[in-house]
Structure 1
Amino acid sequence: MLASIADRLSRLVQRYLPDAFVIAVLLTLLVFGIGIFLKPAEPLSLVKSFGDGFWVYLTFTMQMVLLLLTGMVLASVPFVKKGLQQLAKWADTPTKAYVYTFCLSGAAYYINWGLAVVVGAILVREIGRRNQNVHFPLLVAAAYSPTALYTAGLSSSIGLTVATNDHFLADLMGVIPTSETIFSPSTIIIFLVLFVTMPVIICLMAPKGQVTPYEEKITQKVKVPTSEEATPASWLEKTPILGVVTGLIGMIYVIHEFIVGRDLDLNIINLLFLSLGLIFHGSLRSFGEAFKEAAGSTSPIILQFPFYAGIIAVLTSSGLGESIIKGMTSIANKETFDIFTYWTAGIVNLLAPSGGGQWALQGPLQVPAGMNLGVEPSTIAMAVGWGDAWTNLIQPFWALPILSIVGLHIRHIMGYCFILAVWVGFVTTILMLFLY
């Protein structure tokens, strides 16, 4: 029954859901329209907010581009590719493929969401190549769906923020240790229940008949002369010495940062992947060619991330975000505040898909309202975090990296992600009623 529903919904979504870039533009216009309605005398201020905020994500955009490129380049190293192929061998049936992909991707998300983006995408590509009986859009959804769990992981932006000394709400809520947020019994229970049940839902959605297998993207590889005159220039391009030495410098830095206690962040992951790629590719020419071949898949990120930065700026300056938050929390009491906070965060995340950015918008309004009702600050923080992660399943922003690597559009996986979002929302709501 669920397979039939998923198939119909997937067909409906593929027919009517536009490209992710069109969605970003439509959300931009929607936020502008509502913002002008809320502040009819200040349309120019919204335009200014959009323009000022449009480039705020430049650093993050480049980090994500490098994450994909360095991860794909590292995956193209012969022995790494063989290792991934060996891992993919375990997924020799469709059911194994879906569960295996979800579990490995989920484990990666728990360690670091940036690492999981590359791990999940490269894994499904290798499994898709080897197993033509797998419904590839559902397999990609299985790799992406653990994004709903990341707030319970080691890279939880909200959990780590409130545990940091002198964070921007420290005077109001104090410093909240991770033992009360990402490592609390309530968080662990919600994580484990979702981790066990989500792959079951994924398997139940699997088509019973014809499937859509993985199709290798045709790429225009750079032609390299097989023979050329031995010159100092060609020697510099082909020698492994330069790449190895440069890569070792990067690795020494990464190891030093870990020794002194630095957390695993995007910059460290990117430098780690870049350094390993330089070491293992054997020459700067080989490394550069792999980079060129991978570069085309990053264009959706470069194009769309600035639009979401602009949306968040307009959402904040127009008062729309504040109206949504205040409207939802005004009807809550002490027993239901965490649930309304969760739902509110899910709605806000559809317009402002950024855990840190959302906490900056929602925290100053949500925390004092909840504390006035007697709700623990740690509960408020995790409710926002779970809500932010929940609707990542149906927000194209975070799906762009994995879709860029595997060559699919958001419409190919959104039908399955929508069903998973319904399940995650239902289960988390019920658990929060009893646990918080």
Structure 2
Amino acid sequence: MLSSIADRVSRVVQRYLPDAFVIAVLLTLFVFIAGFVMNPQEPITLFKSFGDGFWVYLAFTMQMVLLLLTGMVLAAVPVVKRGLESIASLANTPAKAYVLTFVVSALAYYINWGLAVVVGAIFVREVGKRNQQAHFPLLVAAAYSPTVLYTAGLSSSIGLTVATKDHFLADVMGIIPTSQTIFHPSTLIIFAVLFITMPIVICLMAPKNNIKPYQVKEVTSKSEATLQKADTPALKLEQTPILGIVTGAVGLIYVINEFINGKDLDLNIINLLFLSLGLIMHRSLGNYGNAFKEAVGSTSPIILQFPFYAGIIAMLTSSGLGQAIIDAMASVANKETFDVFTYWSAGIVNILAPSGGGQWALQGPLQVPAGVKLGVDPATIAMAVGWGDAWTNLIQPFWALPILSIVGLHIRHIMGYCFLLAIWVGAVTTILLFFLY
């Protein structure tokens, strides 16, 4: 029955869901109109906040672009490809393909969400190539859906923020160790329940007919075929392995030194690590440059759309719309239901402002004081916001753009399955939050 429902929902979504860029523009107009209705006397404030906020994500956009490109180029190295192929070969049935893709991606998300963006996308391509009986859009949904688990992982933006000395809400909630957030038994239980049940739901959604196998063009390095014979000093510099290996070694030494000195695994470290390993394994600068050029086209949706969401977040803050959503939820909550309403409000806000750190900066100062007045544990408030933020990532195109860019699918191909998963995740997490938090 679930397979039939999933097929119908998927067909409806593919018919009516517009392109992710259109969605970003429509959300921009919606927030602007809603903000104008709330503050009709100050429309210029919305224009200014959108224009100022439009450029806030430039550094983050470049980080994501480099993350995808360096990851894809690293995956084109023969030894890395063989490793991925070896693991992917275990998925010799459709059910194994869906489960293995979910598990590999989920483990990567637990370690680091930035790492998972590349690992999940590259792995799903390898599985799709080897299992033509698996429905590729559902495979991609299986690789993307563990995004709901990242808030309980080692790179949880909110969990790590509130554990940091002198964080911006320290005066209100104090310093909260990770033992009370991401490593708390309640958080681990929610993580385990979703980790076990989500792949089951994915398998139950698998279509029986109209299977669409992997048909995406693989990104590979054609450098050996395209580089000319090194018969000039210039070409010898391009093709010598010395420059690539030495340059990669410099970056690798920096990364190792940062880890030795206690540096956290962030986007900058991952990017430099991928870049350094790619240079070493591709050996020559010419090889690496060619592989990089072949991969670069897939990043265009990110470059185009991320600035629009930065503008949306700025308008959401300046217009008071974000605060209105949060206040409406908090006003009907009591001590027992506050975390549940916090979860729901975070899910709504995340659709408009899809950024864990940005959402905590918007929602934390409003949610925490209200919860503290009711006697709610600040640690559970923080995690409720985190779970809500991760929950609606399933139906927000923003975080799906990287994996879709790599595999070459459209948002409408996977959103029907993600929508049904969002219903399951929302229901299960709501129940667990009520009884555990």
* Residue in 1 that maps onto 2:97: 97
- Computed over aligned residues only, the root mean square deviation of the Cα atoms, in angstroms, reads 1.2
Deviations along 1:242-274, one digit per CA (max 9) or x if unpaired, are: 000010000000001111111100000000000
Amino acid at match of 2:234: A
Matched, 1:331 2:324: no
Amino acid at match of 2:31: V
The DSSP-based 3-state class of the residue aligned with 2:409 is coil
The DSSP-based 3-state class of the residue aligned with 2:336 is coil
Quote the Cα distance in structure 2 between the aligned partners of 1:12 and 1:141: 17
The 1:225/1:76 distance shift into structure 2, 3 A limit, reads closer
* Residue in 1 that maps onto 2:281: 280
Amino acid at match of 1:105: S
* Residue in 1 that maps onto 2:415: 414
Number of residue pairs the alignment of both structures matches: 436
The 1:17/1:268 distance shift into structure 2, 3 A limit, reads same
* Residue in 1 that maps onto 2:19: 19
Matched, 1:380 2:394: no
Alignment gaps of 5+ in structure 1: none
Contact between 2:230 and 2:236, CA under 8 Å: does it hold in 1? Answer: no
Q: 1:218, CA displacement in angstroms?
A: 7.5
The DSSP-based 3-state class of the residue aligned with 2:92 is coil
State the percentage of identical aligned residues: 77
The 1:100/1:46 distance shift into structure 2, 3 A limit, reads same
Matched, 1:252 2:260: no
Alignment gaps of 5+ in structure 2: none
The DSSP-based 3-state class of the residue aligned with 2:29 is helix
* Residue in 1 that maps onto 2:48: 48
Amino acid at match of 1:155: S
Deviations along 1:62-91, one digit per CA (max 9) or x if unpaired, are: 000000000000000011111111111001
Amino acid at match of 1:432: L
Q: 1:220, CA displacement in angstroms?
A: 11
* Residue in 2 that maps onto 1:168: 168
Quote the Cα distance in structure 2 between the aligned partners of 1:106 and 1:96: 15
Matched, 1:361 2:370: no
Amino acid at match of 1:420: L
* Residue in 2 that maps onto 1:394: 395
Matched, 1:343 2:344: yes
1:66-215 matches, within 5 Å, as 66-215=66-215
Amino acid at match of 1:284: L
The 1:84/1:222 distance shift into structure 2, 3 A limit, reads closer
The 1:232/1:30 distance shift into structure 2, 3 A limit, reads same
Quote the Cα distance in structure 1 between the aligned partners of 2:44 and 2:111: 43
Quote the Cα distance in structure 1 between the aligned partners of 2:367 and 2:424: 25
Normalised TM-score (structure 1): 0.98
Amino acid at match of 2:43: P
Matched, 1:428 2:429: yes
Amino acid at match of 1:308: Y
* Residue in 2 that maps onto 1:65: 65
Deviations along 1:299-332, one digit per CA (max 9) or x if unpaired, are: 0000000000000000000000000000110000
Give the stretch that moved more between structures: 368-377 or 206-215. Answer: 206-215
Q: 1:217, CA displacement in angstroms?
A: 2.3
The DSSP-based 3-state class of the residue aligned with 1:175 is coil
Quote the Cα distance in structure 2 between the aligned partners of 1:85 and 1:377: 45
Quote the Cα distance in structure 2 between the aligned partners of 1:153 and 1:220: 31
